[in-house]
A and B are shown apart, each in its own frame.
Chain A
Amino acid sequence: MRITVTVDGTSYTDDVEPRTLLVHYLRERLGKVGTVVGCDTSNCGACTVHLDGHSVKSCSVLAVQAHGSEVTTIEGLARDGQLHPVQQAFHDNHALQCGFCTPGMIMQSIDLLSDNPDPDEHAVREGLEGNLCRCTGYQNIVKAVRDAAHHMRPGAGPEAERVTGADTGSRTASSVGGGGE
């Protein structure tokens, strides 16, 4: 079946088998291997991407269901070599050890911050409920998300992914996440 999907700002048209999972389409057809598979049960969240601006587990969506939609992966966040503020905050706060959960954690954190720009610790933990980490014990992940919140202004989710956004260059990390101004 033929599908057209925009991934990280580029439009792709491909023939796929209906049973192809979105995550396999991203990794194996488009080479977007930043998005990983960590389980067989839809629990771990490592495969989290944004589908039309909302986080989803890409192992639990068919590629054909994404026809006509926009997908953002972890590979689509940095702008001109500058990390997204959530990526930067994970780096600054040592919020990873092996790093396997990190792409999903970051995508879900951005989704959380677009719904709640200033989450307290409890809200961060609830918001990341669908993402499992086997290394860190979560402490520094929670710290990183709250740190990122302080560096970003409201509306960082879909806004920050807008490829045509004006304010995407030079200064501090926060200029990447602000979007729209």
Chain B
Amino acid sequence: MIPAPFDYVAPSTVDDAVRALADAGEDAKVLAGGQSLLPVLRVRLAAPTKIIDLGKVAELRGVREEGDHLVIGSMTTHYDVQRDPLIAEHAALLARATDTVADPQVRHRGTFGGSIAHADPAGDLLAPALALDCEMVIRGMDGQRTVAAADFFEDFFTTSLAPDEILVEVRVPKHTGWHAHYEKFNRVAQAWSMVAVAATVRTDGDTIAEARVALTNMSSVPVRARGVEEALVGQPATAESIRAAAEHAAEGTNPTVDGNADVEYRQHLARVLTGRAISAAMAG
């Protein structure tokens, strides 16, 4: 199938894009990598009358350092995130999670910002963004505002972005030298996460000094596994202490039920995958 007709503009600056979006009204949609939007348009689950393509906005692409933060442009592709030397050094968790997204063709087109804005609860970059305490920088006609990841994701496919706002960049506090791993559970190639765990850990000698753990697809939004984080801090990084901490992974979660898994099974997966994620992070 092909999409329903729409008007198309490809502005070259964020200002022009914001203006085009405001002028077009509620029926407009921003196009980033198109790897979620175009499949939706093809089966006509949506039929916006106007598409604002961010593909020509050069200022939205790339990664830069700003003091103790990295700033990732929303149009930076998955492929570029996987290979970026600053991300590898200061936010390895994002690179490891991005490795598991979709397939090479989709990663060439799909963008970091597009994934965050799309907010699919099974999306693999939401939990890492939450674990790393990222901040979303949003631009609209009224100017710019910044929203913490913990407040940004509101519900299934719903964020604090207003229809006339654009996610311009994501600010990531540097986690330099932290161990990181993203453990994803799915059954077939290029499938979305049934459950996944983002874990990043800072060690001091043989002791775990700090830990950040967040879960994918354990709710309508990504959730922090605070119980695991607290149980890990101050512990020796042994199999025993990791196993004990991972037992807290499903605490307070109320995961959705779908054809893949019920609540109990998802909570079981969360515990098992948390153990694996932390062990793999420590080993890597």
Contacts and interface: CB of A to CB of B under 8 A. Distances in A.
Contacts, number: 87
A40 B104 contact: no
A55 B10 contact: no
Contacts of B203: none
A108 interface: yes
Contact of B38 (A51, A60, A129): A60
Interface in B89-109: 102-106, 108-109
Nearest to A17: B5
A42 B106 contact: yes
A137 interface: no
Interface stretch (A18-26, A77-85, A88-96, A142-150): A18-26
B178 interface: no
Given A19-B3, A24-B2, A60 B39 contact: yes
Given A19-B2, A19-B6, A62-B8, A40 B43 contact: yes
B5 A48 contact: no
Contacts of B102: 130
Interface string B27-42: 0000100110011011
B162 interface: no
Given A40-B43, A42-B106, A60 B34 contact: yes
Contacts of A18: 5-8, 51
A61 B8 contact: no
Given A24-B2, A65-B53, A55 B104 contact: yes
Given A19-B3, A61-B34, A130-B190, A56 B39 contact: no
A54 B108 CA distance: 7
Contacts of A40: 1, 42-43
A49 B106 CA distance: 12
Contacts of B31: 62, 65
B261 interface: no
Interface residues of A, number: 32
B38 A54 contact: no
A19 B5 contact: yes
Given A21-B2, A24-B2, A112-B104, A41 B39 contact: yes
Contact of A130 (B7, B10, B51, B106): B106
Contacts of B189: 129-130
A24 B34 CA distance: 16
Contacts of A112: 104
A45 interface: yes
A64 B108 contact: no
Nearest to A60: B38
B112 interface: no
B153 interface: no
B141 interface: no
B4 interface: yes
Nearest to A68: B56
A112 B107 CA distance: 13
Interface string A45-73: 10010010011110111101101000000
B25 to A, nearest CB: 17
Given A42-B35, A60-B106, A131-B103, 14 more contacts: A17-B5, A19-B2, A40-B1, A51-B108, A56-B108, A60-B34, A60-B38, A61-B109, A62-B34, A64-B53, A65-B34, A65-B53, A108-B104, A129-B103
Interface of B: 1-8, 10, 31, 34-35, 38-39, 41-43, 51, 53, 55, 79, 102-106, 108-109, 189-190
Interface of A: 1, 17-21, 24, 40-43, 45, 48, 51, 54-57, 59-62, 64-65, 67, 108, 111-112, 127, 129-131
13 contacts: A19-B2, A42-B39, A55-B108, A57-B105, A59-B42, A60-B38, A60-B105, A61-B34, A62-B38, A65-B10, A108-B104, A112-B104, A130-B103
